[in-house]
Structure 1
Amino acid sequence: MSYFRLFDLPGELRTAVLEHLVIIHSDIPVFAKKETCTESPPMVLTDLLLVSHQMHREASGLFYTMNNFIVNLASRRMLSDIVQEGQLFGPDVLDARRRIRSLSLRVRRISGDLESVAVPTLTDMILHGNLRILDVGILTQSTGLKTKSNYDSHHRPGSVFQDPESANLVRTSPFQALLGLLADPDLEKVTLWASLVHWSIWCPYHDSSDATMPKNSERVILDWQRLVHDFADGNRITKFERPRFG
């Protein structure tokens, strides 16, 4: 019996072979509920990573950089559980999560837990890791004022301050932390969206120019850059570039 000697191939050919095995053509749920997750990666991937140290190094590098991972933090329990050992935000998973290039985050509340747990972890993944593509989704919110996505779209951003609840929300430190995360200059692509039924604060920021969202979508794309411009630091932010060395 003859064997195919993968590691005798040139590096670019090994990469082409491994891509067929490690790239998952759907979001990979790391910590998700049924409404936002898809099937888990096949067991063959786990077996592949355990073949040898070299296989693990090459295959895991492709796995983390060429797939999109989805994290659902829709409840306080999820936020508390995900920092435990073995979970994505746990201290023992630091090296692995820093290798992730593309991540989708799902939240329901813009709370202190988001500010103290999710934002610092994602910021570290950007600054000290490989995270460059971030998709943030605001799921249907169960408290506060709701509205359909056909809310009168000509409302000006300043109208948010006419609603006391909205005015208070944009000045909270969790909301400011979210805006700071979205505005990180090292991110190459940022998407912010809300479920079709959402707080009225998002309505003046519907991004009608986005042509990628189907008309019957249950999501509304939001113009995060306008949000940052209007409300970061309580009113307005000046973006800056981090100094680069070497």
Structure 2
Amino acid sequence: MATNKVFRLFDLPPELRGAIFSQLLVSNESVILHETTFFTLPSTQTWNFLNVFLVNMQMYQEASAIFYSQNRFTLNAHYHRLPTHLTSRGGFLSEEGQHARRRVRSMTIYLTRVGGEFERVLGPALSDMVLNGSLRELVIRLGPPSSLGANRTPHPDMVQRPPFQGLLRLLADPYLERVKLLAWKAHLAVFCPFHREVNTSTITDNETVDSQGTAIIRNSTGWIELDWRAMVDVYAPGQKIVRIGDRNY
């Protein structure tokens, strides 16, 4: 007479359970922040990973720890205003989403402009994720200048204004372990002296600037990494960059 065999997952050593959860919940691609505090895994993974979290409390504690710490999360703020699904009640940037976002270790942010909502909402949320949470790796991609301001020349003291200064303070946070700042190949001319791959303090021969202060690198196919440390030195000289473990006493 055949008997049903029961596989008891929690009889396995913690290391094996962790390996299983990693296979189920960790993606080589970025996890997209989607409606409220839910996330979407890449399209190749069609099952709902939340089912794993709902098995029982031990499963949730072990599996969610791996999910939040080992995935890279992407937040798309390529809008004039932050998307309402991020800021409304239950959203990732809302008060109810605080516990979830504090558990994220690695994040990429897409920005079109560093404006008032970055200063009021996104910047403080990211700083809280660093200071009171687990955020240690941050990539910020500044996309092409918004078409909403296509006929408007950037203000000459933009980098001295509170939103941009808030961005520089965030990048220089000593608890962040890995930081990258990138701009699209079409970007504000104020970023030109900080192209990491260009050893110069001027606009290069293959770069043009239009009457609205937008620079375009002709032979580039995408993103340009910026030397954000040099940017902090120039535009926020009072913001000393100190990395944990690098202090001299």
Partner of 2:239: 237
TM-score normalized with structure 2 length: 0.79
Q: CA deviation at 1:144?
A: 6.2
Within a 5 Å distance, the mapping from 1:8-157 to structure 2 comes to 8-31=11-34, 39=42, 42-142=46-146, 143=149
Deviates more, 1:177-186 or 1:48-57: 48-57
C-alpha RMSD over aligned residues: 2.7
Q: CA deviation at 1:236?
A: 4.8
Whether the 8 Å contact between 2:109 and 2:141 is mirrored in structure 1 is: yes
Whether the 8 Å contact between 1:207 and 1:223 is mirrored in structure 2 is: yes
For residue 134 of structure 2, give the secondary structure of its aligned residue in structure 1.
coil
Q: CA deviation at 1:76?
A: 3.5
For residue 110 of structure 2, give the secondary structure of its aligned residue in structure 1.
strand
Q: CA deviation at 1:43?
A: 2.8
Q: CA deviation at 1:31?
A: 4.4
Q: Name the structure with the higher helix share.
A: 1
Partner of 2:189: 200
Whether the 8 Å contact between 1:145 and 1:199 is mirrored in structure 2 is: no
Give a deviation string over 1:203-244, Cα, whole Å, max 9, x none.
Answer: 1111117xxxxx964111111111011101xx55323568xx
Partner of 2:158: 169
TM-score normalized with structure 1 length: 0.79
C-alpha distance in 2, partners of 1:145/1:187?
A: 37
Whether the 8 Å contact between 2:81 and 2:117 is mirrored in structure 1 is: no
C-alpha distance in 1, partners of 2:112/2:85?
A: 16
What is the letter of the counterpart of residue 78 of structure 2? Answer: A
C-alpha distance in 2, partners of 1:88/1:178?
A: 19
In the alignment, structure 2 segments of 5+ residues that lack a partner are 199-218, 245-249
C-alpha distance in 1, partners of 2:190/2:34?
A: 28
Structure 1 residue ranges, 4+ long, deviating more than 4 angstroms after superposition: none
For the pair shown, the structure with the greater C-alpha radius of gyration is: 2
C-alpha distance in 2, partners of 1:20/1:48?
A: 12
Give a deviation string over 1:147-192, Cα, whole Å, max 9, x none.
Answer: xxxxxxxxxxxxxxxxx95641111010100000000000000010
Give a deviation string over 1:4-49, Cα, whole Å, max 9, x none.
Answer: 21100111111111110010110111049xxxx9836643412111
What is the letter of the counterpart of residue 18 of structure 2? Answer: T
Partner of 1:223: 227
Partner of 1:212: none
Partner of 1:156: none
C-alpha distance in 2, partners of 1:222/1:4?
A: 52
Whether the 8 Å contact between 1:145 and 1:200 is mirrored in structure 2 is: no
Task: Specify which of 164, 175, 179 is matched with residue 190 of structure 1.
Answer: 179
Q: CA deviation at 1:196?
A: 1.1
Identical aligned residues as a percent:
34
Aligned residues: 216
Q: CA deviation at 1:131?
A: 0.2
1:141/1:31 CA distance change after superposition, 3 Å: farther
